[in-house]
Amino acid sequence: MLIFFNGIFKKRKAITMKSENEYVLIVKDLKKRFGNVKAVDGITFNIKPGEIYGLLGPNGAGKSTTIKCILNLLIPNEGTITIMGTESRLDNTEIKKKIGYVAEEPLIFKSLTPKEMFNFLASIRNLDQAKTQKKVADLLESLEATQYYDVPIVALSKGNKQKMQIISALLHNPNLLILDEPLNGLDVRSSRVFKDILKIHIKNGGSVILCTHIMDIAQDLCDRIGIINNGILIAEGQMDELRKIAQEAGATSLEDVFLKLTEQSESIKNVINKLKESIE
C-alpha cells in the first residue's frame, strides 16, 4: 500500500493472511457511478476482526456511497464486497444477520415506542427474549434513556433517537458495526459511554467501520484510517504511520493530515485571510 501525503510517497508492507475468510470485510476495486459522476472510483480496503477502521473524507468524497454499497442499498457498477467470506450480492439475508448499522440520520420506526421496536427486532432476528430484554435494559440505563422506553420515538429528541438506533444495532451482537457519524446529537456523557461500548465490542472480536468528520474521535478510536477524496482512497495507514508522514510534511495533527491530503489547507488559508481583511 502506498500512503500519499503532500507529494511524499511512503511504501507500507502489505498485510497478508492465509485466507480471505479471515477478514471481516473485503472491498475490491469498488466503483459506483451516477450518470457521468464517479462517486466511488476503484476503492480497495479490508477490515480484520477486532479492528476499528476509520473512513474519512470531505462531504461528497464517496464515504456514504461506499457504505451503502457495503450494505447492499446501492448496487456497485464494478468490484466486489465480501463480508465474513460471503459476497454481499449473493446472500444478502445472511449478511444482514452479521451487520449492525447506525446511520447519520436515525433510520428507525418512529411510529413505535422503543419497547415495541426492540421487541419487533428481537422477533424477526429470532433472539432470545429474556436475554434481549436484559441487554436493552442495561444499554438504556448506560445511555440514560430508560425513561423513554415507552415514549413514541417520533416524540424523542435527535440525541435520544440516536441512542435507540445504537441499541438496535447492537441487539444481535453483529460481527461488523457500520457507523456513520454515530455521535450525532449525543451529549458528552453518552458519547463517552458509546466509545466504551465500542471497546467492549472490539474486545469480544467484533469489527467497526467508523465514518466521522470529527478528527479527534478518529484519532482516539481507530486502529487504521482510510482517507477518501473524489471517490478515490488517497491514503491509508495506522495512526503512527500517518503521524510520521504528517510530521515530515509539517503537519501536527490528524486534522492537518486530512486537510493537506484532501487539498483543503490552502483554500482555508485564503478564506481566513479574506475574513481578516473583512473583519478588520
**pLDDT tens per residue across span 226-239:** 988 889 888 888 87
Q: What is the pLDDT of residues 218-271, one digit of tens each?
A: 888 899 999 888 898 888 888 777 777 666 666 556 666 666 666 665 665 565
Nearest to 170 by CA among 221, 218, 220, 204: 204
* pTM for this model (two decimals): 0.81
| Spatial distance between the Cα atoms of 50 and 28, rounded to a whole number of angstroms | 21
In a domain, 67, yes or no: yes
C-alpha cell at 235: 491514503
Nearest to 217 by CA among 165, 249, 255, 163: 255
The answer to whether residues 51 and 202 touch, using CB atoms and an 8 Å cutoff, is yes
> Rg of the chain's alpha carbons, rounded to an integer?
20
In this prediction, residue 255 carries a pLDDT of 67
In a domain, 147, yes or no: no
In a domain, 120, yes or no: no
In a domain, 246, yes or no: yes
In a domain, 150, yes or no: no
Which residue range forms the structural domain that includes residue 35? 2-98+174-279
CATH of the domain at 48: 3.40.50.300
Per-residue model confidence as pLDDT tens for the chain (280 residues): 444 444 433 443 333 444 556 889 999 999 999 999 999 999 999 999 999 999 988 888 889 899 999 988 899 999 999 998 888 776 677 788 889 999 887 767 778 999 999 999 999 899 999 999 999 999 999 999 999 999 999 999 999 999 999 999 999 999 999 999 888 889 999 999 999 999 999 999 999 999 987 777 888 889 999 988 889 888 888 877 777 766 666 655 666 666 666 666 566 556 566 665 666 5
Tracing cell 434481549 back to the chain, one arrives at 132
Domain count of the fold of the chain: 1
C-alpha cell at 149: 422506553
Q: Residue 233's beta-bridge partner residues?
A: 228
In this prediction, residue 157 carries a pLDDT of 93
C-alpha cell at 188: 458528552
* Long-range contact set of residues 19-24: C-beta below 8 Å, sequence gap at least 24: 20/82, 20/85, 21/84, 21/85, 22/48, 22/49, 23/47, 23/48, 23/82, 24/48, 24/49, 24/51, 24/83, 24/84, 24/175, 24/176, 24/207
